[in-house]
Structure 1
Amino acid sequence: MRTPLVFIDGDQGTTGLQIHQRLRGRNDLQLLTLPAEQRKDPQRRAEAINSCDIAVLCLPDDAAREAVASIHNPAVRVIDASSAYRTHRDWTYGFAQMSPEQAQRIASAHRVSNPGCYPTGAIGLLRPLLNAGLLPSDYPISVHAVSGYSGGGRAAVEAYEGKHAAQASPFQVYGLGLKHKHVPEIQQHSGLSERPLFVPAYGAFRQGIVLTIPLQTRLLAPGTDAATLQACLERHYAEMESVQVMPLQSAQALTHLDPQQLNGTDDMQLMVFEGEGQVLLAAVFDNLGKGAAGAAVQNLNLMLAGLTG
């Protein structure tokens, strides 16, 4: 059987470099990238994408749309790491642990949209609780998240690691217009009927995320407390790889959350904390792992298995 050909379009960006490094040396696929002088040649890029089995797009949104529009070979399958198609009805959302059926959907899909880093944590926490009826779909959700500066791409990495790094802010909250592009993605794939409030921030560390969602128990389904929510999450992820739910007692013993705790892994850890009449949902993961390149490779592995299955 022919070894599948995987084309990475945009392998010089933060996510693309990580994906290339992860795939380099694997013998179950052939890896295709373009030399520097051909990366901006539309004809050469179109030839490459139409000759591959699976294309991984690590491009800005508009460039990703152009790349998809250039595909005329119906056999080509695509994983898009941009936000261009994350809420598109004809694309399969690439969060394999989102539901028991999602991994199989990804394995058989022709078009897969890789999740955003922040939405991975928010959807991972919210969707099981909404599906179980423990959280009302119109709950006024607030999502607070701090990411390493690599989440801002090459420009942010240069700002923190380049010649002007001493002037970089140690912490910055952004998206103050409350129109961040991740909001529709979070709302649609978690199952919320109302727009969530999303407050993102960057810290002066390279990678890692802590994402938290505060809840008031008086606004939840009757009888719902931290133990109910934790048990629901634990049931949902019990048979799934890459997502772990911390036991409630272990979570209560924590005094802080380290966004860098799972750096270098493709895992995500979910936690539930309780207070008087209040609950805090939390997720910790690597924004370049489960939040980007790791998720793309997980999706690629599912799609490769679909080719041979």
Structure 2
Amino acid sequence: MTHTVFIDGAEGTTGLEIADRLEGREEFEIIRLSDAERKDPDCRRTALNFADFAILCLPDEAAVEAVAMLNEDGNTRVIDASSAHRGAPGWTYGFPELVGPQAIVNAKRVANPGCYPTGFLALMAPLIRARLLPRDWPYTVSGVSGYSGGGKGLIKRFEDESDIAYRAYGMSLDHKHLTEMKSKAGLEHNPVFAPAVVPAFRGMIVEVPVHIAAMRNAAKAEKLRAELARYYAEAPLVTVHEDQPDELVLRREQGPSDRLDLWVCSDADEETVRLIARLDNLGKGASGAAVQSLNLMSGSDELAGLRI
């Protein structure tokens, strides 16, 4: 059976990467609009309502407008790569490793996780659920990402201003990812979030430092690692590493990946721990996540088209 797919925002970075992952997939027929048609609301509305699946690769406001164009009694199933619907009623959170693949299979509306929340939640949600870390601790999450996650404006800036070595942002401490990280991890407080951008096109490292000795009833590093390994034992895209590497790096030029790698590093006494996730902000953090959901929703192989 062939499914029609409309990528609304197909010319952006996320849309182009999704199209690349769907290239040559006989089970999907991509609906393509000309430049003029993409700017015509009536053409977009027709495409959105004709498609079996619509993937929204748009700014938040435009994603809300696109959903409003859908017929209430229509059959179009939606995957939204923006942050507009991640906590909205009626939307399934598009992280099958956390919500269960069957929840995605049966969903009509799926909201992609954010790239930083993907790393944070992959580490924290299983450990909070298992009560190995407390829900009421004031956690901190830091991370660095390739500049492609900032869209065309930031991509141009990094490519034009070759002397930028590091860009910290989110200084107002009210980043839109905070609500997502708090609610999906089941925390009582927003984490302190310290994101930054480095001069690599893609890739990201997300880290949660934890002072085990200062917490009540927190598990030691080996137990944290064992729980993550148990939790992701059947997750084909997630690897929980047993080693404690001397360093983790991002390369300026590296290929796309839809994998997610996790580490639990600690001092010799296991009193302090660094929970670390490495992923591709354009892969598992965006386009790969959308295609993984599309595969599940359409009855395809979950890993088809993914970069693994």
TM-score bracket for the superposition, by shorter chain length? over 0.9
**Deviations 1:18-42 (Å, cap 9, x if unpaired)?**
0111112210111112111111111
2:13 is equivalent to residue 14 of structure 1:
yes
Q: 260, 263, 275: which one pairs with 1:271? A: 263
Q: Which residue of 2 aligns with 1:231?
A: 226
Following superposition of structure 1 onto structure 2, how do residues 99-114 of structure 1 map, counting pairs within 5 Å? 99=99, 102-114=100-112
Contact 1:173 1:201 survives alignment (8 Å): yes
Mapped to 1, the partners of 2:246 and 2:288 lie a distance apart of: 28
Contact 1:139 1:219 survives alignment (8 Å): no
Q: Which residue of 2 aligns with 1:40?
A: 39
Q: Which residue of 1 aligns with 2:305?
A: none
2:200 is equivalent to residue 202 of structure 1:
no
Mapped to 2, the partners of 1:7 and 1:223 lie a distance apart of: 46
Q: Which residue of 2 aligns with 1:185?
A: 180
Give the drift of 1:150. Answer: 0.4
Mapped to 2, the partners of 1:230 and 1:94 lie a distance apart of: 24
Give the drift of 1:221. Answer: 4.9
Give the drift of 1:263. Answer: 4.4
Mapped to 1, the partners of 2:44 and 2:27 lie a distance apart of: 23
Mapped to 2, the partners of 1:60 and 1:109 lie a distance apart of: 22
Mapped to 2, the partners of 1:123 and 1:292 lie a distance apart of: 15
**Deviations 1:199-240 (Å, cap 9, x if unpaired)?**
100001101001110001124453611001000100000011
Q: Which residue of 2 aligns with 1:280?
A: 274
Q: Which residue of 1 aligns with 2:98?
A: 98
**Letter of the 1:92 counterpart:** T
**Deviations 1:94-147 (Å, cap 9, x if unpaired)?**
011114xx2110111000001110000000000000000011111111000100
* Other structure's SS at 2:96 match: coil
What percentage of aligned pairs have identical amino acids?
45
Q: Structure 1-normalised TM-score? A: 0.92
Give the drift of 1:74. Answer: 2.4
Mapped to 1, the partners of 2:237 and 2:50 lie a distance apart of: 32
Q: Which residue of 1 aligns with 2:87?
A: 87
Q: 288, 293, 301: which one pairs with 1:299? A: 293
Unaligned runs of 5+ in 2: 301-308
Q: Which residue of 2 aligns with 1:119?
A: 117
Mapped to 2, the partners of 1:223 and 1:144 lie a distance apart of: 21
Mapped to 2, the partners of 1:139 and 1:154 lie a distance apart of: 37
Contact 2:134 2:217 survives alignment (8 Å): no
**Letter of the 1:165 counterpart:** E
**Letter of the 1:166 counterpart:** S
* Other structure's SS at 1:55 match: strand
Q: Taking structure 1 as reference, are residues 62 and 148 closer, same or farther at Cα in structure 2, changes over 3 Å only?
A: same
Following superposition of structure 1 onto structure 2, how do residues 66-85 of structure 1 map, counting pairs within 5 Å? 66-72=65-71, 73-85=73-85
Q: 146, 161, 165: which one pairs with 2:161? A: 165
Q: What root-mean-square deviation, in Å, do the aligned CA atoms of Structure 1 and Structure 2 show?
A: 1.5
* Other structure's SS at 1:139 match: coil
* Other structure's SS at 1:97 match: helix
Contact 1:133 1:221 survives alignment (8 Å): no
Mapped to 1, the partners of 2:67 and 2:8 lie a distance apart of: 11
Give the drift of 1:258. Answer: 1.2
Mapped to 1, the partners of 2:276 and 2:299 lie a distance apart of: 32
**Letter of the 2:45 counterpart:** A
Q: Structure 2-normalised TM-score? A: 0.93
**Deviations 1:45-79 (Å, cap 9, x if unpaired)?**
00000001010000000100000001004211000
